[in-house]
């Protein structure tokens, strides 16, 4: 290699000499002298290596020097040192990332507060809560240190199932306000750091929905939007399936001369998710609301989304008894194959809206699976395919019937032991479909159950009024836990102040149990105090709120 270098060097030297430029400050031997004699050549090599490095030396001279042991070894040491440092730095970075606590998302650091829209706050005095009413009460969430608010359905609806029977998924029911009111509320909530979660009700529509009218009229595009089967208007129905509310899940439609399926009220026909047009319609609706800026969806009644296409009878628990809902094994009407694909597709759509920092769109699924906890856990998705951020944990609903410490431990363990690794837990003790804590467990337990909710690892979901220990009202319908929010001891508990009408009676205890007297009750302070440190992990401290402090109340 040294010879090659020297040969090259001689060549350069000759050329340099020809141009009469003396690059070599060592006159002892003419640089253009190239010996043919090997002996003499060796001598000349030795002499060249005597040449000291100098500024402007050609590459060949540089190579000659750089291959000397002292440079080569130093270079190699430095090279390997750099490799080692780089590897150490990478290892350190990975370790720090792996060991540091993960950045928590907004739906992990604040409880979800469920607003039952009809009953929260009535701004126009018609006796029904509305969107403007929520806007009036935003300070309440701030005061409690709550950041995530789930607002019940406000779609246009004939209200056979409190808005869970949707007539138009893109319109606001006039009872609750206008689209403008909604946009204003959302903007206001965002401006004070609150997130809005809304109901998404994919399983069924109202029988007044345009699609259903077109379907019963056998419009070619819409005829398979719902689940239809031949029947003659009298018994027997296509099969023995029963609705969640009892009675046959089939209703004869005179217009079409066939039966349609409904797993809830007969005014809530089941959409046919085996039809790709239906899937596309519902996905477009998700896009519609995401584009408006909503922060997440509570996906209702998801286990009912698909039914077995063969329509066979479901096995009876007791073959000698006429079946109502709970007397059948729901092998063909709930948790059918393909259900999770639907949810995962919607999740993927939501991901596309979640990329900007702080814009994460949250998904929670509603599925009562009772003792089949494995089924519930499937809604978390897999490590490769994401589904809901969490499925509602309804297992604590069992708590009021059995308020022993051991039972609490059992229920908590049930979730924690079955939750897939790396997922986020959540806890709930009531909602619009279940009795209030104070009525099922008793007033004595309100604070301890709220404290449990707030301190378990994961996101608690609370239902409006539970923070002050509201109780069920007397009502023969599904509404006892849906009475107007008790804001104060004033007329109608401060729910509205224009009339004395409320859509459901206010609970008579409102003079002693209301938001204004919360301090004597001390329950709200519990929320504030437990939540404050948690929130400051992601939200900077806020300036003092406009609500009066405890001493002014
Ligand atoms: C959801 C609601 C429930 C409603 C049902 C049918 O599960 O929570 O109130 O009746 O859907 O729409």
pLDDT in tens, 192-221: 999 999 999 999 999 999 999 999 999 999
Task: Name the residue of 117, 152, 249, 264 whose CB sits within 8 Å of the most ligand 1 atoms, as the mutation to test its pocket.
Answer: 264
Res 325: pLDDT: 61
Tokens 């190239």: give the residue. Answer: 34
**Is pLDDT of 144 > 70?**
yes
Q: What is the pLDDT of residues 246-259, one digit of tens each?
A: 889 999 999 999 99
Q: Mean pLDDT over residues 326-349, rounded? A: 95
Q: Mean pLDDT over residues 367-372, rounded? A: 93
Res 44: pLDDT: 54
Q: How far is the CA of 504 from the centre of ligand 1 (A)?
A: 19
Q: What is the pLDDT of residues 533-549, one digit of tens each?
A: 665 544 444 444 444 44
Residue 62 pLDDT class (50, 70, 90 cuts) = confident
Measured from the CB, is residue 167 less than 6 Å from ligand 1?
Answer: no
Across 342-458, the runs of DSSP E, i.e. the strands, are 362-365, 390-391, 426-428
Q: Whose CA is nearest to atom 12 of ligand 1?
A: 164
Q: What is the 3-state secondary structure (H, E, C) of 301-314?
A: CHHHCCCCCCCCCC
Res 535: pLDDT: 55
Measured from the CB, is residue 161 less than 6 Å from ligand 1?
Answer: yes
Q: How far is the CA of 123 from the centre of ligand 1 (A)?
A: 25
Residue 34 pLDDT class (50, 70, 90 cuts) = very low
Across 352-471, the runs of DSSP E, i.e. the strands, are 362-365, 390-391, 426-428, 459-463
Handedness of CA 492, 497, 498, 504 (dihedral sign): negative
Q: Whose CA is nearest to atom 10 of ligand 1?
A: 161
Using a pLDDT cut of 90, give the percent of the chain over it: 68
Q: Whose CA is nearest to atom 7 of ligand 1?
A: 301
Residue 308 pLDDT class (50, 70, 90 cuts) = very high
Q: What is the pLDDT of residues 472-504, one digit of tens each?
A: 999 889 999 999 999 999 999 999 988 778 999
Residue 54 pLDDT class (50, 70, 90 cuts) = confident
**Is pLDDT of 9 > 50?**
no
**Is pLDDT of 323 > 70?**
no
Measured from the CB, is residue 389 less than 6 Å from ligand 1?
Answer: no
Rounded CA gap, 187 and 427, in Å?
28
- Residues in a beta bridge with 228: 260
Q: How far is the CA of 330 from the centre of ligand 1 (A)?
A: 18
Measured from the CB, is residue 267 less than 6 Å from ligand 1?
Answer: no
Contact status, residue 182 vs residue 144, Cβ threshold 8 Å = no
Q: How far is the CA of 164 from the centre of ligand 1 (A)?
A: 6
Residue 324 pLDDT class (50, 70, 90 cuts) = low
Specify the ligand 1 atom closest to the Cα of 164.
12
Residue 102 pLDDT class (50, 70, 90 cuts) = confident
């Amino acid at each position: 290699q040294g010879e090659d270098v020297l040969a090259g060097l001689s060549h350069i030297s000759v050329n340099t000499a020809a141009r009469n430029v003396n690059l070599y400050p060592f006159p002892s031997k003419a640089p253009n002298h190239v010996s043919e004699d090997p002996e003499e050549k060796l001598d000349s090599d030795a002499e060249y290596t005597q040449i000291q490095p100098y500024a402007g030396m050609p590459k060949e001279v540089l190579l000659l020097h750089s291959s000397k042991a002292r440079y080569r070894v130093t270079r190699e040491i430095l090279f390997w040192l750099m490799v080692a440092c780089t590897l150490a730095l990478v290892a350190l970075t990975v370790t720090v990332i792996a060991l540091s606590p993960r950045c928590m998302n907004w739906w992990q650091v604040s409880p979800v507060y469920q607003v039952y829209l009809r009953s929260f706050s009535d701004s126009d005095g018609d006796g029904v809560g509305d969107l403007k009413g929520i806007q009036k009460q935003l300070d309440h969430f701030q005061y409690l240190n709550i950041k995530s608010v789930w607002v019940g359905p406000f779609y246009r609806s004939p209200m056979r199932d409190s808005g869970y029977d949707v007539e138009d998924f893109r319109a606001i029911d006039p009872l609750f306000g206008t689209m403008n009111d909604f946009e204003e509320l959302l903007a206001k909530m965002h401006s004070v750091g609150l997130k809005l979660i809304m109901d998404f009700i994919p399983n069924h529509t109202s029988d007044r929905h345009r699609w259903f009218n077109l379907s019963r009229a056998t419009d070619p595009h819409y005829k398979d939007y719902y689940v239809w089967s031949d029947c003659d208007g009298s018994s027997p129905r296509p099969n023995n399936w029963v609705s969640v509310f009892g009675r046959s899940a089939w209703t004869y439609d005179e217009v079409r001369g066939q039966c349609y399926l409904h797993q809830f009220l007969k005014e809530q026909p089941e959409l046919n998710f085996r039809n790709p047009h239906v899937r596309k319609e519902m996905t477009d609706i998700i896009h519609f609301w995401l584009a408006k800026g909503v922060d997440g969806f509570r996906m209702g009644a998801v286990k009912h989304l698909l039914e077995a296409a063969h329509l066979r009878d479901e096995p009876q628990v007791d073959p000698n008894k006429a079946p109502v809902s709970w007397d059948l094994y729901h092998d063909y009407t709930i948790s059918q194959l393909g259900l999770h694909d639907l949810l995962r597709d919607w999740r993927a759509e939501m991901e596309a809206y979640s990329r900007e920092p702080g814009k994460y769109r949250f998904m929670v699924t509603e599925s009562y699976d009772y003792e089949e906890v494995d089924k519930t856990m499937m809604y978390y998705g897999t490590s490769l395919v994401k589904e809901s951020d969490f499925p509602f944990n309804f297992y604590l609903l069992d708590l009021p019937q059995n308020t022993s410490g051991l039972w609490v431990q059992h229920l908590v363990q049930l979730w924690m032991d079955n939750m897939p690794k790396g997922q986020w837990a959540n806890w709930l003790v009531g909602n619009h479909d279940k009795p209030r804590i104070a009525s099922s467990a008793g007033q004595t337990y309100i604070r301890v159950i709220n404290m449990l909710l707030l301190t378990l690892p994961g996101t608690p979901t609370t239902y409006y009024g539970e923070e002050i220990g509201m109780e069920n009202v007397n009502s023969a319908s599904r509404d006892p836990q849906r009475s107007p929010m008790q804001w104060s001891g004033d007329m109608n508990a401060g729910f509205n102040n224009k009339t004395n009408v409320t859509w459901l009676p206010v609970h008579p205890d409102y003079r002693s149990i209301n938001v204004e007297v919360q301090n004597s009750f001390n329950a709200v302070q519990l929320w504030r105090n437990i939540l404050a440190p948690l929130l400051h992990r992601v939200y900077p401290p806020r300036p003092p709120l406009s609500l009066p402090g405890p001493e002014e109340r």
